[in-house]
Structure 1
Amino acid sequence: MRKIIKVILSIALIAAVGEILFAESRYYGGNLCAYEGFHCVKVKSGDTWAKLFPNEHEREIVKRLNRTNLPLYYRSWIVVPRDLKQLTLMDLSPFPDQMETNGQKLVLINLGVHAFGAYGPDGKLVHWGPISGGKGWCPDIHGQCNTVVGQFNVVEKKGPECVSDKFPVETEGGAPMPYCMYFYRGFAMHGSTLPGYHASHGCVRLFFEDAQWLNRHFVDVGTRVILSR
């Protein structure tokens, strides 16, 4: 079952599969409902993450699979692995376990699967997590706000005190960007809320704990970052 899930996550998640029950187009993961190993669950009034998944490890897996750290009342459905009790977080990684990194650390960000992978100098995947990228059009700036793609290097990083110098527009900055890691102009990876779809002005939003881990224990100034769609 783990091998089946790994294949599905590596290949099938990138493409939509027609009209599928629960699959509101903007949310990540709705297409998984059609595959063996997963089922989609309707969220009922009063449901919480802790109520549906009392086990903290299982709860974390489901939240990461759905690419969200927001309360459940924001959702009408979630996708859940059928073999949840037997899975680890790494079983649900959409990235290969090993890749060539030329002896350097690498942060790989795939906007199509809404996820990042952190690879060590030996090319081994050591951690992965959800992301939320640019939502495409931002009314507050009356323009496009896509996440840049390409190969970059981290040029600056700050701690939990990091804030935007541009957003919100009405205050000319001040939005929290804890553990920010800038890699191109104003584009950065940082901790934030993730709704399960692309919702930023172009930055790469991460779970708070992932941003902290990357910032403190993995990313250095100069670490390579590759973004693709």
Structure 2
Amino acid sequence: MNKNYVGSLAVFIAAQFCITPLFASKSHYGERFCSYETITCYKVKHGDSWHSLFPDSARRDLIQRFNRMNVRLRPGMKLAVPNELHTLSVMDISPFKPQIPNSGEKLIVVNLNVLAWGAYNEEGNLVHWGPLSGGKDWCPDVKRPCRTVTGTYSIKRKLGSSCKSSKYPIGKGGAPMPYCMFFFRGFALHGSPYVPGYNASHGCVRLFPEDARWINQEFVDPPSSPFGGTTIVVERS
């Protein structure tokens, strides 16, 4: 990969932690980087889909993660596409440090500002990351703010692919929450086909379904394990 491109990409990744917080915004995440020289913004046209634009599954996954969304494309949307897409891996575009101080325990970092989560193993190495959508500023159906709580918690309970909400939609419940992992009262990480590139939930942290399954089944320790539930840090910085 071109060294100048690597340097520009590093600046881009660092800038993600300095942007205006997105929890009050409905602009799609990738749009705010359209002015970067290393990025080309594509305006979605009628008939476009993720599969038609990016038939290669690995590149499609990278672009979805880069833009923090898996929702159906609509005409007029803008997608941020790295100019040297073919040279990049998912870990190349991670907004997280590749390593943190060794704590001897697994850690999940949820950053509501950069709309991303990162999973660190016991040695402090980043082993996976992905997009998210947290709680929005205001929920008309419950007439109150819905922001996701911040702080340090642990995964207290996890369920499988059939997990559903007991509260939403209001008055009925039953909204799918596959691979839910509860960390504080009714707040949970869970899979969703609606991660739109901004914070849009009632407070839970929506993840790509495949990421929720991976965290649930392959990363977090059961709450009953000798180590207790895996630690999760939720932040907006």
Which range, TM-score by smaller chain? over 0.9
Gaps of 5+ in 2: 224-228
Cα-Cα RMSD: 1.5
1:78-108 deviations in whole A, cap 9, x for unaligned? 1111110000000010000000251100000
Note the C-alpha offset of 1:11: 2.5
Looking at structure 2, the residues matched to 129 and 101 of structure 1 have their Cα atoms a distance apart, in angstroms, of: 21
1:187-223 deviations in whole A, cap 9, x for unaligned? 0000002111111000000000000000000012210
Give aligned-pair identity as a percent: 48
The match for 1:15 among 12, 19, 22 is 19
The match for 2:233 among 207, 212, 226 is 226
Looking at structure 1, the residues matched to 134 and 76 of structure 2 have their Cα atoms a distance apart, in angstroms, of: 19
Looking at structure 1, the residues matched to 100 and 234 of structure 2 have their Cα atoms a distance apart, in angstroms, of: 15
Contact 2:43–2:79 (CA under 8 A) maintained in structure 1: yes
* Larger mean Cα displacement after TM superposition, 49-58 or 211-220: 49-58
Gaps of 5+ in 1: 17-23
Question: What amino acid does structure 1 have at the position aligned with 2:101?
Answer: E
Looking at structure 1, the residues matched to 75 and 102 of structure 2 have their Cα atoms a distance apart, in angstroms, of: 38
Note the C-alpha offset of 1:13: 5.3
Contact 2:46–2:75 (CA under 8 A) maintained in structure 1: no
Do structure 1's residue 139 and structure 2's residue 140 form an aligned pair?
Answer: yes
- Helix, strand or coil at the partner of 1:138: coil
- Indicate how the Cα distance of structure 1 residues 25 and 198 shifts in structure 2: closer, same or farther if over 3 A, else same: closer
TM-score of the pair, normalised by structure 1: 0.92
Aligned 1:1-229 pairs, distance under 5 A: 1-12=5-16, 14-16=18-20, 26-73=27-74, 76-171=77-172, 173-192=173-192, 193-220=194-221, 221=223, 222-229=229-236
TM-score of the pair, normalised by structure 2: 0.89
Moved over 6 A (4+): none
How many residue pairs match? The answer is 221
Contact 2:16–2:95 (CA under 8 A) maintained in structure 1: no
Question: What amino acid does structure 1 have at the position aligned with 2:78?
Answer: W
